[in-house]
Amino acid sequence: MKPSVWRVLAIASASLIATGVVVTSAPTAQAAQALPPVQIGRVIKLSPHSTVNDHAALPASGPYRIKLAPGTYTWKLHIPNRPYQTTIRLTAPAGTWYSWRCYLHGLGASYPDVNYKSNCILNPDAPGYPTFSLPSVDGTYIKSALSGDSSWTSTLVPQF
């Protein structure tokens, strides 16, 4: 669906924020401390009145592709007023490509009822290795009274 026809969710900025480095081999603990976080993000418009046709993806153009080393990462999702964080352990071989994407869906309700649902997925290209979901496969339910532009980000922080 074109952003111009979205009633509630719209792209406020067409630019994708992707900062950080691509990790291609398992660094030492000392080297990992020097690696900056990798973040994807965009600005979206929220409304306290969602419809079931309100959908947004982060990044908007398709999954963010990244090579990651095996190891422990702190994975964060920040939707306005709803930060989530978990620790994940990647076990796929060094240099495995991952697809990273987040979703936000309107539920056709108005605040103060639950009006949005969101989650992020990190999926390795290597068969037989787990796909990770934050905060869960089913996502999280959000009560949002926000109206207007909101920053939406997901961040991976190396911890090995």
- Please give the pLDDT value at position 65: 96
DSSP string, 49-89: B--TT-EEEESTTSPEEEEE-SEEEEEEEEETTEEEEEEEE
- Please give the pLDDT value at position 75: 95
68 forms beta bridges with 96
- Please give the pLDDT value at position 160: 77
| Mean pLDDT of successive 10-residue stretches along the chain, which has 160 residues | 26 32 44 76 91 91 94 90 87 94 93 91 94 85 88 92
For the chain, the domain total comes to 1
Parent domain of 108:
3-158
- Please give the pLDDT value at position 8: 25
Q: Smallest Cα–Cα separation from 79: which of 54, 102, 99? A: 102
